[in-house]
Structure formats: C-alpha cells, structure tokens
Structure 1
Amino acid sequence: MKAVGIVVEYNPFHNGHLYQVEQAKQATHADVVIAIMSASFLQRGEPAIVSKWFRTEMALSRGVDIVLELPYIYSTQKAETFANGAIAILKEVGVEYINFGSESGDVDSFNQLSDFMHEHKDEFDQLVKKHIKKGYSYPRATTAAFQDLHPASNMLSLTEPNNILGFHYIKAIRDQHASIKATTTLRKQAQYHDAFVTGHAIASATSIRKALMDKDINEISHVMPEETFSLLNEYQRSYQLLHTWEHYFNMLQYKILSTPLTELRSIYECEEGLEYRMKDLIKDSMSFTELMERFKTKRYTWTRLQRLLTHILTNTTKTEMEEACSTYKPPYIRLLGMTQNGRSYLNKTKSDREVPIITKFSKASGIQKQIEERVTNIYLSPLKKEHFIKEMKQEFSRSPIILNH
C-alpha cells in the first residue's frame, strides 16, 4: 500500500483541507492518507479551539486514513524544528510522499530553492546573524538574508508562510536522508492570513476562527464539511467554550507574577531580558490580547512571543526542550485515530518500523511523556471541573478513534 503524508493542525478542518486531501491522493495515487496533527497547542503559540480527539474525528470523516500526534516539543516550534519533527514521524511510518499546501503550487521550485540554500548555507547563516544583531526578528532576518544572497528572480519566495514550511519539509527530508518524495497543492482562493470569511466555499482557518468567536456558527457553515460543523457544535454544547488564549490569561498572569525572574529565564524561548518586560506588562494588562499588543516589538513577532507565553504557561524549560529534541527520532508515535483502510496499512507495515506506535498514552515514556501530560493538563484546565477530571482520566486510557469506512 502506498501512503502520502500531510502535516496539519485542522483548527478546524475546513473545505480547504478537504481539497488538499483529495489533491494529495490524486497527485500521488496513494492508497492511504496519513495526517501528522498537532495536539493541544499549535505552531503560532495558541491553543487548538477544540481537542485533538474532535479534530481527529473531523479528519477521519473526510478522507484521512490515519491521524498521528505531532508532540508539543515540535508543534510549538519555529518552522525548521516543526518540519523536522513531522518528517521524522512520516519517515518512521514509511510514507512514500509528503504533500503540503503552498502559495507556489510548483514542487520543482521548492527543490531548486533547497539546492540553492544547501549550496549557500554557511553564507546564509552568517547573514541571518548579522540581521538579528541589527534588531530584526528571526523571520525578517531570514528574509533579508535570502535577499542578500541575490537568488535568481524566478526563485521561490520565502515571504509566504506555507512556502516557508514547504521549504523546511524539503530541507528536513534532505537532512534526515528520508526517501520521501514531495508534492505540493496550490492554495485555492483563501490565503493564510485572510481575516474574513466570504461567500466562497473555501476560507482560511484564521478567518474561520475569527468568525467562530464573532458570529453565529451557522453563518459560516458553507466553508466546512458537515462533520466539522456538527463536531464544533457538539464541543460547544458539551463544554460551553471553544479554546482561546483568553481562557488561560488568569493562569498565565498568576504564573508570571509568582515565578522568580531566574526561573522565568530558564523557560524555553525566554531570551534577552524578556522576563523583565513580561513581569512589568502583565501587572496591568486586562486581557491576553492587550498584553500581546503591548508586548510585541519589531524584534519579536506576535507568533514568537505567543510561543514563549505558551512555554511559560506549560512550564517548559530550555533544559527539557534540549533533551527532548536532542534527536529527531521519536521514542514513540501516538496513534489518535484510523479508518479500516488505515488499520490495514499499519498492520502491513508493522515489521518495517523501528519506533513503536502506541494506542494508549499510558504506554508512553520518557521526557516526551512528561511534557505531554503536563501540557494536556493545562489545555483542559478551562473546562468545568467534572469535565476536566473525566477528560484527564480518559487521556491515559483512551484508545484511538476508529471509523469503519
């Protein structure tokens, strides 16, 4: 059986994601689609609006055959580390292809760029350091360094977020010597940063999340599959919320105010005196949004600072991350859900895998398990007490979701 992998957040699963699943199958003639999905907290440093279990069911109901968890140690990272973690998992489960969405739509341009950047790696790294010393944010420094290299005018642009991730998937495949072929799907209609849902059937996840907070969900039902619409409604009915940073603000405020500066300094991504600025700003910020608007600078982007605050919320230290990410080979891979087709694939490829696929969190071990358990506790904390207790108990004993189609 031939498998294609996709790396996703599904926050939530919408018609654009459905289009990618269909295009990935069509482009590769794959028998199986494997999604590597971020769990509780996401790459932009924000909580997923609904749990990984609800998002897994959304995916399985519309063409994905296997959903595997992308651990926190990768899901809340800059593009390079995020991509390396995802590719390591896809490599272990034996996919022949990866498919990613892009603003380019031309995979040859990604391969051309990868060759160019590999050839100029040392020079590029030095230029990035030079621009960071000027006070540039890391994304701005990498863009400026890229422009300084004077690539050909027809070279792929690294200013678009999905192109950046795509480039890092290609780079990770090269660096890990993975025998994975890359394909890309051109993003249709909506772009990553689009802020509003229109009458089109495809909208960005950003605009959908904004609309979910501002409007009646029925007004945006046309941009998502029926199963997503139903599951979002079910989550809201059951738990009376869709997770946003504001649900965690009081906890974050307490955490920053009560933690000594030396301990804040030990948190992953806390650099260059940010702990002093946080301590000062958190005292009179009335909301998470207000804090972020005051916190961001030219040097530190909103996303970079959100990730730092996520690590403070979850008490994730530099030492822990260094240990957990010392190798990209995962200690285990967690299966969140599968179809019968997916189960058949996993059974047929079992003897080829070096890393165990676990079906219950109780079978996990090591530093990755310690971090995931703590992160899940924090993610579930806004739920009412009875729901929190139930969900935490289920987290250890719950088996993967299985859809029989």
Structure 2
Amino acid sequence: MKIVGIIAEFNPFHNGHKYLISKAKEVCNADAAVIVCSGNYVQRGMPAIINKTSRCEMAMLNGADLVIELPVVYSTASAELFATASIALLDSLNCIDYLCFGCETDSIDLLNTVAEILINEPKEYKDLLTLNLKTGISFPKARAKALDEYFKKYNLDYSLNINSNNYAKYPSDITSNSNLDINTFINQPNNILGIEYIKALMRFNSKINPVPLKRLGAGYHSLDTGTKLASATGIRTAMANKDNISGLLPDNCLNIIKNHTTIEYNDFSTVLGSKLLSMDTLDHIEGINQDLSNRIANNKYNFTDIETFIPMLQSKNYTYSAISRALLHIILDIKTDDIKEFVNNNYAMILGFTKKSGVLSEISKSTKIPLVSKFATFYKEADNNQRKMLDINLKADNLYRMIYMNKTSEILPTEFQRQIIIK
C-alpha cells in the first residue's frame, strides 16, 4: 500500500483542501491519505473556528482516510516546531511514502536547496545573516535578505560541500538565475512551511519523499472570495462578516458549518484578561522573552479584548502571528519546557478513519507508537510523559468546549466522551 501524508489545519476545510487531497493521491499514486491535523487551536495562534471533530469529518467526506491530531503545544507553535512535530509524527508511523504539501512554488530543487542552506548554515551565509541582523531588522527579514544575497553572490556548486543522498543537490539552473527573488520566495507562507517540512525530513533522515504541489487560486492571506479556490483567511473573514460562502467549500462541508456556531479569538478575551492580571511573570511561557514580557506588562491595563491588544504589542521584532501565539500560550499555560519535552511524539491520537482504505490496519503493523482510538482507555494506561501531554491537551480542549457552550448553549462532548469518526 502506498500512503501519502498531508499536514493541515482545515480552518475551515475548503475547495483547495479537497483539491490537495485528490491531487496528492493522484500524483503519488497513493492508495490512502493520512492527515496530521491541528486540533481545536491552530498555528496562527488562535482557536479553530470549528471544533476538531467537525473539521475531521469534513476532511473524511472529501478524501482523507485517516486523521491524526497534532498535540496543542505544536499546533500553536512556530512554523519550525509545527513542522518538526508533524513530520516526527508521520515518520513514527513507519509506512508513509510521500509528504504532499501546497506551495507557492512546485520546484523541489529550490525548496531542497534553501532547506539545506538553513540546516547547514555555511559560513558565507552566516556572515550575511549577521550583517543583516546588525541593521536592526527582524530575524525572518534578515534571514530572507541573507538568502537572497547569498544566492546572488555565490556559486553554490563550488562554495558548498554538502553531502545529501536523499535530496537534490544545488542545481545550476537555480543558481544561474540572477532574476530569482529569494527574498519574496522565503516570505511566502506556504513556501515557509514547505521548507520547514523538508528541513525536518532531512534532520530525521526520513524515508518520506517530499512532493510539493503548486498552490492554485487565491493567495494564502488573500481576502478575495470571487474564486472557488478562496483562501481559508478569505473564507473566515467572509464568515465573520456573515457573507455568503456557498461555492467556496464542498457542499458537504457547508452543511456541517451551518450547523455550528463559529468560535472567534475574542471569545477568549476574558480568560486572557484574567491571566494578565494574575500572572507575575511570563518568562516561562513559550514564545515570550523578557522584552515581549515587558511590553505585555506595560500594556496590560489597556487591555479590552485580544484583537485590539495584539497591535499594541507589535513592533519590527514581533509579528502579529508571533504575538497571537504568545498570548494563546498564556491562555493555555503552555510553557517552553513543554515544547522541549514532547517534540518526539510518542502516540497518535486518532480523530477518524475510513474502514475501506485499510490504512489503520497497515499502520498498526508498522508503527511502534500507540494508536489511540479511545481517549479514556489510553489515559489510564499512559506513562508520565504521555499523561502530561494528554493533560495539556485536555485542559485546552475543555476551555474550548466551555467557551463554545457558553456562547451557544449547545453541548460538546468531552475528550472522554468523544467518539472517533469511522466511515
């Protein structure tokens, strides 16, 4: 059986996701698609607009054969940690043949080249990075500028001696293109994640083959909903404005969304406000250094809600998403030590699977980590590390559930009550 892995958030599931799953199976000649998906909180540092079980159902109605939840400490982490933990989870299944992901480019050579430079950090690149950081710009901007200068200044074929058996060498057609804008390339959201996926595959010496698919339709941050391939950002904005989203999602997903009240980040404002007033120090929280901690402390008495608080903290060193993640980590009490402790996942929490694919049976023969289909049973049997991770997830899910029920008066099952979806 050939299996393709996909890392996603489905916030919400839309036509582009349906295309990705279908095209991934086609291009990889795969019999099944295994999805590693964020749970009730996503990588941009906010709650998912629809709960994880409903998003899993959307995916399974549109080609997903197995959906595994990415633990919340990683689903809300930086792009690098998000990618590393997702790849660790897929790699630990020991039967995933391909990793398919959408990108603004479909050049695997270019993605591999940049990934290897960032992993190995040759001296010439590090010198350029240091010079750019000294100008006072943020690290992401300094890195992008250094890469752009490095590509244009050096012939990679002779300046690097990196031995890679599984990934493309530095191809001359890339290095000879003086018009190549690496600065733009490295700042495109899907390219960033694609590079991080490949970096993780390289670090794990994984046998999984990366397969980029060029993104179609609206850009990642585009608000344009005039195309059937609108972005998740555009769809979320349209939903918040009560605009018509028919045609932007598969019909079977539209029906699910219509039956649920969406969750917004500001729904968590009271929780964050209370935390800001009661916590003496924030240095132990993931994503918060002393400088950001001071900025939060200096502004906390101006806090009214999350969406207006984030811009108060922004600067050239802190992007909107980075601050959003940091504030969510305060809400969920996710500590830096939690991130370090669990990066190598040691269980797979199943949200749903299809019987006809046979993929769960195939994985059960190859993996050494627990495949969890019953939370309550596994919770009793879990070791100390597993229990700690489960407790962090449980606390986060209980908060999401409480806020949803307070907003809607509808009942969501607890993790101990939740049934996995079987199609």
Specify whether residues 88 and 296 from structure 1 end up closer, same or farther in structure 2 by C-alpha distance, changes over 3 A only.
Answer: same
The 5 Å alignment of 1:211-360 reads: 211-216=238-243, 219-236=244-261, 242-260=262-280, 262=281, 264-325=282-343, 328=344, 330-342=345-357, 344-360=358-374
Q: Which residue of structure 2 lines up, in the alignment, with residue 239 of structure 1?
A: none
Maintained 8 Å contact 2:401/2:414 = no
Deviation at 1:280, TM superposition (A): 2.8
- After alignment, is 142-151 or 291-300 more displaced? 142-151
Maintained 8 Å contact 1:113/1:155 = no
Q: Which residue of structure 1 lines up, in the alignment, with residue 157 of structure 2?
A: none
Q: Which residue of structure 2 lines up, in the alignment, with residue 41 of structure 1?
A: 41
The 5 Å alignment of 1:368-383 reads: 368-383=389-404
Structure 2 distance, partners of 1:184, 1:316, is 32
Structure 2 distance, partners of 1:275, 1:116, is 32
**Where do 5+ consecutive residues of structure 1 fail to align?**
237-241
Deviation at 1:130, TM superposition (A): 5.5
Structure 1 distance, partners of 2:23, 2:347, is 29
Q: Which residue of structure 1 lines up, in the alignment, with residue 82 of structure 2?
A: 82
**Pairwise CA RMSD:** 2.2
Q: Which residue of structure 1 lines up, in the alignment, with residue 218 of structure 2?
A: 190
Q: Tell whether 2:232 aligns with 1:205.
A: yes
Deviation at 1:319, TM superposition (A): 2.3
Specify whether residues 125 and 271 from structure 1 end up closer, same or farther in structure 2 by C-alpha distance, changes over 3 A only.
Answer: farther
Q: How many equivalent residue pairs?
A: 388
The 5 Å alignment of 1:70-219 reads: 70-93=70-93, 94-121=95-122, 124=125, 128=129, 131-132=132-133, 134-151=135-152, 152=175, 153=178, 154=180, 157-198=185-226, 200-216=227-243, 219=244
Deviation at 1:289, TM superposition (A): 1.8
Structure 2 distance, partners of 1:85, 1:75, is 9
Cα distance per residue 1:114-171 (max 9 Å; x no partner): 3444453565456556645544333223212322423534486212111111111111
Deviation at 1:385, TM superposition (A): 5.1
Maintained 8 Å contact 1:196/1:210 = no
Structure 2 distance, partners of 1:380, 1:18, is 27
Specify whether residues 134 and 155 from structure 1 end up closer, same or farther in structure 2 by C-alpha distance, changes over 3 A only.
Answer: closer
- After alignment, is 104-113 or 61-70 more displaced? 104-113
Structure 2 distance, partners of 1:374, 1:72, is 10
Structure 2 distance, partners of 1:275, 1:61, is 43
2:256 partner letter: L
Maintained 8 Å contact 2:73/2:334 = no
Structure 2 distance, partners of 1:248, 1:166, is 31
Structure 2 distance, partners of 1:141, 1:190, is 27
Structure 1 distance, partners of 2:407, 2:319, is 37
Specify whether residues 133 and 399 from structure 1 end up closer, same or farther in structure 2 by C-alpha distance, changes over 3 A only.
Answer: farther
Structure 2 distance, partners of 1:358, 1:163, is 32
TM-score under structure 2 length normalisation? 0.86
Maintained 8 Å contact 1:257/1:279 = no
Maintained 8 Å contact 1:380/1:388 = no
- After alignment, is 53-62 or 164-173 more displaced? 164-173
Cα distance per residue 1:27-59 (max 9 Å; x no partner): 000000111100111111111001000000000
Maintained 8 Å contact 2:353/2:360 = no
Specify whether residues 226 and 121 from structure 1 end up closer, same or farther in structure 2 by C-alpha distance, changes over 3 A only.
Answer: farther
Deviation at 1:358, TM superposition (A): 0.5
**Where do 5+ consecutive residues of structure 2 fail to align?**
153-174, 380-385
Where 2:296 maps in the other structure, the secondary structure is helix
Deviation at 1:70, TM superposition (A): 1.0
Maintained 8 Å contact 1:12/1:49 = yes
Specify whether residues 129 and 53 from structure 1 end up closer, same or farther in structure 2 by C-alpha distance, changes over 3 A only.
Answer: farther
1:100 partner letter: F
Deviation at 1:387, TM superposition (A): 7.7
Specify whether residues 125 and 48 from structure 1 end up closer, same or farther in structure 2 by C-alpha distance, changes over 3 A only.
Answer: farther
Maintained 8 Å contact 1:74/1:85 = yes
